[in-house]
Amino acid sequence: MSTTLVLQMHRLGDLILSFPLLHYLQRRTSCRDIWVVAEPAFFQPLLSVAPSVTFFPAAQGEAIAASQPFELGINLSSRPASARILGGMQTGQRLGLSEQKGALHVYGFWQLYRQALTQNNRGNPFHWSDLNTLDLAPDADIHGIGHTLPRPAGTGRVGLVLGASEVAKRPSPQFWARLARRLAANGHMPLFLGGEAERPLGKETARLSGLPQADLCGKLPLDALVNVMRRLDLCITPDTGPMHLASWLGVPVLNLSLGPVHARETGPSSPGQWVLRAAMSCTGCWQCRHGNLHCHGLFTAPAVASVAEAVMRHGDGLLHQPPNLPAGLELFRTARNDLGLHQLRPVGVRRSCVRGLLEDFWQAFFLALYQPAHLPLLQPALEALAASPLPLSRLIEGLHAICTACARHVSGKAPLARDFWRSHPPLLRLVAGFCQMWLENAQADSRQQACLLHDLHTLVTQVKQK
């Protein structure tokens, strides 16, 4: 009973973001075999670059799960079918969303944390790829999970990934055309990359740019795209599946993080990549609430071309001689901290940003809630917040109020309202949402509810004292 079954039935990017988890599982001496249920259209072309595990088609998921007992079952999908499969498995341990006897339950601290991010990810400091793995690391140390450092191929080719899952997450054809012309004028060879869905976008970009030979959208199967990407000096891309593929392959990435995406959450996860995003307070939203996508206007072709040229020309040297960025844009380098967790490190002078400091605080807070040994991480995070414009007393009072409301709920004096998390200011919704999800997930399990209450009270007390 030493086989692990992983259910990952989502899109290309989600599958690739599970590769570090698979690599981590391979390093566990108890994991003899690792089976993965996924969509064949995505895993079959990637077999040559994926971790050495056994893949099965999603259509066979139920039969595979019933074929034998498992040591561990992990559901990384939100599909109802995957929850039923996990619930029906014979396994020693479950992680993720599970359905048993018609009732849904989330197994795992970090899997529950991720579920609580739905429509409530403002301030989330954890990358989705890391959240796949953290429940398997009692000390929250996930070093050595298989990331490849980026290295240019030296061909002069620059890939432009034109599409994304939502129009709001990608630039316009006019932008791509202007950028492609600038790159070509500087001696580079732009290539328009995308799948079948991007054929019209590629055709329009080729027409506007006057570079018909650059259009490869819909013309490359996924395995051929892997080979093309490996010969790029840089891949300029919005937050999309091919971005994660390039990052996994060790292709240098310049991520244009625009629209309703959060680069700290779903940007390139490998260290050494580049992220360009708008310096706006609403950056990282789940869904844009404005009539116009204001962040898009900051990404101009001259600005992006300038950053791309600097990245290709200077590479790591940019950390010491940052490029001149136009007002409204920020450049970051992806990295890993002392626990192996994904980080965004600013390149050059960055405007004072309470948002980033608050994200660092929440990372320390939830790490300490998961593993009290990480309590010392709170001190520097609190000191940084205390030196910022944020009224720290407001944060502490809000945490105390959440703790009090949870205590009243556990004691049966006042159940939490259905909109409990949303009734709090954005500053506190991350922890309010997690606590509400935890208490609802525990339902009648008084021991689990009391455990959260005790740990939360201890942590909030420590925050007040510091």
List, as one string, the DSSP characters of 392-442.
Answer: HHHHHHHHHHHHHHHHHHHTTSSPPPTTTTTTS-GGGHHHHHHHHHHHHHH
Span 423-434, mean pLDDT? 95
Write out the residue limits of the CATH 3.40.50.2000 domain(s) in the chain: 3-108, 157-351
Using the predicted structure, report yes or no on whether residue 182 has a pLDDT greater than 60.
yes
CA 279 – CA 322 distance, rounded (Å) = 16
Span 328-356, mean pLDDT? 88
Cβ-count burial 306-327 (b if 16+ within 10 Å, e if not): bbbbbbbeeeeebeeebbebee
Tell me the residue type at 42: F
Give the containing element (helix H, strand E) for 157.
strand 157-161
**pLDDT tens-digit map of 199-234:** 999 999 999 999 999 999 999 999 999 999 999 999
Q: What is the pTM of this model?
A: 0.95
> If we measure between CA atoms, which residue out of 436, 438, 462, 447 comes closest to residue 373?
462
Per-residue DSSP letters for 10-67?
A: S-HHHHHHTHHHHHHHHHSTT--EEEEEE-HHHHGGGTTTS-S-EEEEGGGHHHHHTS
Match 């993965």 to its residue by tokens: 36
For the structural domain made of 157-351, what CATH number should be given? 3.40.50.2000
- Give the model's pLDDT for residue 444: 67
Give the dihedral of Cα atoms 181, 184, 186, 189; nearest 10 deg.
Answer: 150
Per-residue DSSP letters for 79-124?
A: -HHHHHHHHH--BS-EEEEEEETTEEEEESHHHHHHHTTTT--TT-
- Give the model's pLDDT for residue 33: 93
CA 343 – CA 346 distance, rounded (Å) = 10
- Give the model's pLDDT for residue 462: 87
Using the predicted structure, report yes or no on whether residue 309 has a pLDDT greater than 60.
yes
The proportion of the chain whose per-residue pLDDT surpasses 70, expressed as a percent, equals 98
- Give the model's pLDDT for residue 28: 80
For the structural domain made of 3-108, what CATH number should be given? 3.40.50.2000
- Give the model's pLDDT for residue 1: 53
- Give the model's pLDDT for residue 350: 62
